[in-house]
Amino acid sequence: MNIQGENKTQNRILSLLPLWIVIGIFMIGPLLVMAVVSLMESNVYGGVHFKFSLSGYRQILFDTNLFDEIEFNPAYLIIIARSFMLALAATFLSLLIGFPAAYFISRQSDRVKNILIFLVTIPFWTNLLIRTFAWIIILGKGGVIESSFNFFGLLDEESSLNLMYTNSAILIGLVYSYLPLMVLPIYASMEKMDLRLLEAATDLYSNRIELIRKIILPLSMPGIIGGSILVFVPCLGAFIAPDLLGGGKKLLLGSLIQFQFSYARNWPFGAAMAMFLLALVILVLIFNARLNRKHREYANQK
């Protein structure tokens, strides 16, 4: 009995070993490296001096001025706030487009459903960088939008709509990149929904709007929360859309971190920023778990 029990425990540890190795090498390892780097001194030629220092973290909020005094520097806080706002806006916009899209797809026949879901996933087949470049062609000077404005005489040849290198351009890029991640989870929860509940609600005098507000929206909440997390988290750290469509004029968290490692050669600061971003994401996930607990009761019922 006892031996058997021990064997079982041993077996379980052994069988989980590959998983731990994978998680260790690909997840915990790099994170540890980041954490260690964030606590070192920077080396202007790249890499780090192996000497403990909190300067990476300090730099997030404080700067050393000409007189070697430490003073508060809100520049990075502004970048963080801007990234946060942009990610939030992108998530909200994705939800605004993704929810009706998912609802529309879920109401189609099985055949049409499969085709539409397939179409939603098609963008993943091409590299994000290339797809974002496509937006430059669409939004840019003399691009698709401007030339069609020209064509209809709404814009003369010399002037430009100045669509590129704005927050809106970044927002468009972000929403475009991550919209499928919003549509799919919402679709999944709508697909699971018992259509007879909609009949019941209509039978009980609900009009179309009340049907959506009182039944469909609350019942697809797990999908909405899941999709929002999936969009919000990568948006917070995104750097492709901000760099290409924002022109790097307005730094965002992702670009800032990338910049520290590539050009600025301030690895500790980049790593500290990355850790900060991670903390932010974990906070969001905890918030999400809280929200989800409320919805789990009835999500489990199916």
Binding footprint of other proteins on the chain (CB under 8 A): 194, 196-197, 199-207, 210, 214-215, 218-219, 295, 297-298, 300-301
Between 167 and 206, name the residue whose CB sits nearer to other proteins. 206
As measured in angstroms, the least distance from the Cβ of 116 to other proteins is 21
Residue closer to other proteins by CB (options 131, 192) is 192
Compute the least distance from the CB of residue 184 to other proteins, in Å: 22
Count other Cβ atoms within 10 Å, centred on residue 193: 16
Of the pair 6, 199, the CB lying nearest other proteins is at: 199
Least separation in angstroms between CB 282 and other proteins: 28
51 vs 196, beta carbon nearer other proteins: 196
Whether the CB-CB separation of 248 and 242 falls below 8 Å is answered with yes
| Cβ atoms < 10 Å from Cβ of 204 | 9
N residues, the chain: 302
Classify 36 as helix, strand or coil.
helix
Nearer to other proteins, 205 or 263 (CB): 205
Q: How far is the CB of 211 from other proteins (least distance, A)?
A: 9
Min separation Cβ 198 and other proteins, Å: 9
Q: What's phi and psi for 49, nearest 5 deg?
A: -85, 135
Cα separation, 155 vs 259, whole angstroms: 37
How big is the chain by its Cα radius of gyration, in Å?
Answer: 24
**Residue 234 to residue 170: CA distance in whole angstroms:** 14
Q: Please report how close the Cβ of residue 159 comes to other proteins at its closest, in angstroms.
A: 51
Output 24 or 218, the one with its CB closest to other proteins.
Answer: 218
C-alpha 171/C-alpha 94 separation (Å) is: 10
Residue with tokens 């009182």: 214
**Please, what is the minimum distance in Å from the beta carbon of residue 107 to other proteins?**
15
Tell me whether residue 39 or residue 225 sits nearer to other proteins (CB atom).
225
Measured from the CB atom, the residue of 197 and 279 that comes closer to other proteins is: 197
Q: Are 97 and 267 in contact (CB under 8 A)?
A: no
Distances from the Cα of 148 to the Cαs of 9, 206, 256, 287, in angstroms? 68, 44, 35, 45
Of 128, 130, 110, the residue nearest 118 (C-alpha):
110
Our CA dihedral for 25, 185, 95, 83, rounded to 10 degrees, sits at 0
Which is nearest to 200 in space by CA: 188, 214, 218? 214
φ, ψ dihedrals at 69, nearest 5°: -95, 145
Closest contact distance (angstroms) between CB of 108 and other proteins is 15
